[in-house]
Structure 1
Amino acid sequence: MGRRFNTAGPCLPAEHYMIPALSRLPEVPGLVDLKAYFVVHAPRQTGKTTALRALASDLTAQGRYAALHFSCEAARAAGDDFGAATLGILQRIKEAARWQLPPDLRPSAWPMAPAAALLGTALREWAEVCPRPLVLFFDEIDALRGQSLISILSQLRDGYNSRPAPFPVSVVLCGLRDVRDYKAAAGGDASRLGTSSPFNIKLKSLRLGDFTPGEVADLYGQHTTDTGQQFAPGAVDHAYELTSGQPWLVNALAQEVVEEIGVPASEPITVEHLDQAKERLILTRATHLDSLTARLAEPRVRRIIAPLIAGDPLALDPYDDDLSYVRDLGLIAPNPPVRAANPIYREVIVRVLSASIQESVTADPRTFVRPDGGFDLPKALSEFADWWVENGDFLTSRGYYNEAAAQLILMGYLQRAVNGTGVVEREYAVGSGRIDLHLRWPYTTPDGIPRVQREGIEIKAWRTGRSNPLSSGLRQVDRYLDRLRLPTGTLVIFDQRRGAPSIDERTTLTTTASPAGRTITLLTG
């Protein structure tokens, strides 16, 4: 069987298409030569284990180091029992050394020592007898919690400070988060470790980045080389546009096209195939997407994502780590401005948060299909207005993502209304003051002509202490419709001021003119 796109576990060169590890973390060999202790972090499913395992193998193969990659995952269940956690890690070291290192570089039996000093003592004795300098990659270090994490980091720091006495020359801590967040995992009190950082000996923190456009082209090119299947013009660029290079998504899109949709190798993979694969991934909520969106319920995450969806400014204290934490999780882009990490995550976040709304919508989606097969947006907006009067106050009072509740409710209603036939694409960003929706509805007219109906919708909120957003909204919707090249559009304004008129008084559906002279459907609620 040939190689394939991998979405489950580390990549194996003989079985999977993969990008060389050194191109993804080129700084590592130099830091090891500096005898540095450092951190590598990245969101889940970005290829950390694949890259680190390959780097350890390369360092050992070059003959200068005994480099070992192992996982701390087995110690997760130990909790605060640092003795059990240490034994679990030492067992994983011994098992990993058995297949990664030649016999003369492997550790012998571990020494007897008190639990609080066992790891340091064991590594010290191994370094003393090993014919090469030791380099250790502690993968999944953030599986450790509480006293176990404190104990392991303290012993590593003590061993580092004792050099040139025998000890590993370089230690790499690898996990989901940067080291600054370890103090929270250790119990939230940095003073318990005697420092603001529990790993203050680290020289550098490296973030394993997403694939570049060139690496996406390289990965997909491997598939073409192996199978002969081409990517149509624009398809590889579109894959990068949809994923922003997120490694799991890059592989998952192609895997969905090749293995699930089953496009034959004799046919090229097109932009349309990738769009179909994107929708299938979103609808099926693959394991990676589910594990990612499960984080949305965390208060730290909600503090960032709620204003992001609502388009509100982000108000954080100067030393607030929540923004960095959500970046480390991979939900938002690694660089400013604050925005979803990629278009697929942007869509998944909103669909997950509005899913319960879709379940409560009783309107039959078939009633929004016009006789000619098009989507009856005026009817959908009219029925939403009635439904909003009945349910809006109750749904927005539940307190879950309350800053964006009204916007999520409308998006959930529209998602239910298009019911898989149409697509609602969303654009939102911190400080934008709005959410832009692009509704696309493919259909075939009664005389057999295929068409795609497109609608532009802008959602704004009127907050306490701010002026009526109608004027700015009309200017913004003009710019949005210019970009979409549409002659008309819809502006929705939710009045969320304290003391606003009652929901039945403020909910209206009318038309107005934009500054550019367009006829704009105006829904207020």
Structure 2
Amino acid sequence: MQKRFNVTGTCIPEKHYMVDISNKLDSILKLVNNEEYFIINRPRQYGKTTTLYMLERYLNKFKDYLVISISFEGIGDLIFEDEKIFSKEFLQIMSDSLFISNETLSKYLEEQKTHVENFIDLSRIITKFIIKAKRKVVLMIDEVDKSSNNQLFLSFLGLLRNKYLLRNVGKDYTFHNVVLAGVHDIKTLKLKIRANEEHKYNSPWNIASDFDVEMSFSISEIKTMLDDYVENKKVDLDKEYFAEKLYFYTSGYPFLVSKLCKIIDEKIMDQNELKWEKEYLELAVKELLNESNTNFDSLIKNIENNKELSELVDNLLIKGIQLNFNIHNPDINLGYLYGIFRNEKGNLKINNRIYEQLIYDYRISKIQTSSNFVNYNSKENFIDSNGDLNIKKVLLKFQDFMKHEYSQKREAFLEEDGRLVFLAFLSPIINGSGFAFKEVKGGEEKRFDIVITYNKKMYILELKIWRGEEYHKKGLIQLGEYLDQYGLEEGYLLIFDFRKAASLIGIVEETYVDIEEHRKKIIEVYC
């Protein structure tokens, strides 16, 4: 059977192209060997289930380990109605997990469930089971989020916690390890000690060790998946280039890395040639951003359902405000939990460039449905006879649009949304044939750069608000340096000008800057 890139469920080495995560497993095994209890809490589709599976495969090689791998996904709510039901069903789930690998222990657990009435009974049966197993029993529970808001489940964690503490002082037998996996960090969940004293809490999982394993993929790790792909399918591709570019767009987010590879392999690459051209990755990014999937749907939902989180995202992405990463800030913590944010050397950042583009596109779409672009941005008016995009025409027409459509409300509107209005204006012009990559440059100037590719040509456009002559001159030099970096001779500057007396609204200027003996032409358009 031909291997494939997998983006749903567990990845299996014999069936799927996979990253070599042996370094990650080595770090996890140190926790296992030290008898630690821990939780792998990461955003959705971040490789948690696959990591558990690969850890189980590794431990099964050793006769002194017995792995019981279960999941709380799809078990329904009935199990959480009372201790008796939960205790019986938990033993049954454990029994089912062992049915193929160890029928004797599986039958033992099934027999014991008839004797359990509460958590005290369950604790005793776990003790007897560990003694009978005569091995290091590792309990893995996936999808714990399905039950993490349930009081009974938290009480069950308290049972495991108590047995762990007794085990450490030689007064009980229990699981060698308990490994939980989910989005939330169970250590932060609270367990009420007394029902009539609502303000007294204790953590049911404060015994858990910190899980500091980096679950995102590095460039070198991404390359191992491409190695696997090339070896099995005999595809011709520049592994170094694509590994770096995949990381550039995804920051190593496992789902996004595999998804882009899957799109190139199954939708873009010519199956008769089996070769990845460099432009395929950009095409895959466009394809991905245009599709609906549960990962993207969840991202947008989580942002839209929380006003403070939504404002924080806009501050980072649209306004270019620089913020420190502080996990104790509840809005930052929530965004980090959902995979929206990442910590980049103490600075708060959107997790990856794919998410940045997705959020931009979503915001742009909302602007498009509320603005009248009909008479201004017909695509055919901005494409030259050779098929190239005429950026100067685009800027002049946008200038005209702003003059007629937003002349009355421009000052109040543009400070917040002017950049999005331009992106909404540009989007249908380049849609289908081009791509606009947006990047905010923080600091005093708050530059907003757009790198546009169209008809295999690149254009660099900078958007910024007028903040004085000194900053403007610095901005021209910075744009010139940016052009030099890409080997381009001409760039574009769109300036939103709020000055009352000396406004240059409607003006177009051509400026030249010298960057290390290279003269760069910059076309400035004022709105």
**Amino acid paired to 2:479:** V
List per-residue Cα deviations over 1:310-329 (Å, max 9, x = no partner).
21122687831433443343
What aligned pairs does 1:122-133 form with structure 2 within 5 A after superposition?
123-133=126-136
1:455 matched residue in structure 2: 459
What aligned pairs does 1:260-299 form with structure 2 within 5 A after superposition?
260-264=267-271, 266-297=273-304, 298-299=306-307
Runs (5+) with no aligned partner, structure 1: 185-189, 443-451
What aligned pairs does 1:186-225 form with structure 2 within 5 A after superposition?
194-195=201-202, 197-225=203-231
CA drift at 1:456: 1.5
1:159 matched residue in structure 2: 163
Q: Distance in 2 between matches of 1:118 and 1:469?
A: 72
Give the secondary-structure state (helix, strand or coil) at the position aligned to 1:271.
coil
Normalising by structure 1, we get a TM-score of 0.81
2:362 matched residue in structure 1: 352
Alpha-carbon contact 1:396-1:405 (below 8 Å) kept: no
CA drift at 1:370: 2.8
* Larger CA deviation: 197-206 vs 118-127: 118-127
Give the secondary-structure state (helix, strand or coil) at the position aligned to 1:275.
helix
Q: Distance in 2 between matches of 1:524 and 1:81?
A: 65
1:135 matched residue in structure 2: 138
Give the secondary-structure state (helix, strand or coil) at the position aligned to 1:8.
coil
Bigger CA radius of gyration: 2
Residues 316 and 36 (structure 1), Cα distance of their counterparts in 2 relative to 1, 3 Å cut: closer
- 2:17 paired with 1:17: yes
List per-residue Cα deviations over 1:61-111 (Å, max 9, x = no partner).
311122222222235757985757777655543433334545336733426
Give the secondary-structure state (helix, strand or coil) at the position aligned to 2:130.
helix
CA drift at 1:6: 0.9
Alpha-carbon contact 2:88-2:114 (below 8 Å) kept: no
* Larger CA deviation: 114-123 vs 199-208: 114-123
Alpha-carbon contact 2:88-2:113 (below 8 Å) kept: no
Give the secondary-structure state (helix, strand or coil) at the position aligned to 2:43.
coil
List per-residue Cα deviations over 1:236-283 (Å, max 9, x = no partner).
443343333332222222222222224226432221223222221122
- 2:255 paired with 1:248: yes
Give the secondary-structure state (helix, strand or coil) at the position aligned to 1:95.
helix
- 2:383 paired with 1:369: yes
2:39 matched residue in structure 1: 39
Alpha-carbon contact 1:357-1:413 (below 8 Å) kept: no
CA drift at 1:495: 6.1
CA drift at 1:216: 1.9
Residues 23 and 300 (structure 1), Cα distance of their counterparts in 2 relative to 1, 3 Å cut: farther
Alpha-carbon contact 1:46-1:210 (below 8 Å) kept: yes
* Count of residue correspondences: 501
**Amino acid paired to 2:256:** L
**Amino acid paired to 2:157:** L
Residues 277 and 130 (structure 1), Cα distance of their counterparts in 2 relative to 1, 3 Å cut: same
1:485 matched residue in structure 2: 487
- 2:357 paired with 1:341: no
CA drift at 1:49: 0.7
List per-residue Cα deviations over 1:131-182 (Å, max 9, x = no partner).
3232111212222243435333323322322324122221112122444654
2:194 matched residue in structure 1: none
CA drift at 1:31: 1.4
- 2:314 paired with 1:306: yes
Q: Distance in 1 between matches of 2:365 and 2:164?
A: 50
Normalising by structure 2, we get a TM-score of 0.81
Q: Distance in 2 between matches of 1:38 and 1:392?
A: 58
Q: Distance in 2 between matches of 1:281 and 1:470?
A: 37
Q: Distance in 2 between matches of 1:90 and 1:434?
A: 59
* Larger CA deviation: 402-411 vs 33-42: 402-411
CA drift at 1:21: 4.8
1:59 matched residue in structure 2: 59
Residues 519 and 19 (structure 1), Cα distance of their counterparts in 2 relative to 1, 3 Å cut: closer
| Residue 437 (structure 2) aligned to one of 410, 425, 428 | 425
Residues 435 and 90 (structure 1), Cα distance of their counterparts in 2 relative to 1, 3 Å cut: farther
Q: Distance in 1 between matches of 2:406 and 2:87?
A: 54
Residues 270 and 151 (structure 1), Cα distance of their counterparts in 2 relative to 1, 3 Å cut: same
- 2:418 paired with 1:406: yes
Runs (5+) with no aligned partner, structure 2: 192-196
Q: Distance in 2 between matches of 1:9 and 1:512?
A: 55
Q: Distance in 1 between matches of 2:325 and 2:352?
A: 23
| Residue 331 (structure 1) aligned to one of 337, 340, 346 | 340
CA drift at 1:201: 0.8
Identity within the alignment, %: 24
**Amino acid paired to 2:201:** G
* Larger CA deviation: 291-300 vs 80-89: 80-89
Alpha-carbon contact 1:511-1:519 (below 8 Å) kept: no
The RMSD of aligned alpha carbons is 3.8
Residues 339 and 480 (structure 1), Cα distance of their counterparts in 2 relative to 1, 3 Å cut: farther
CA drift at 1:353: 2.4
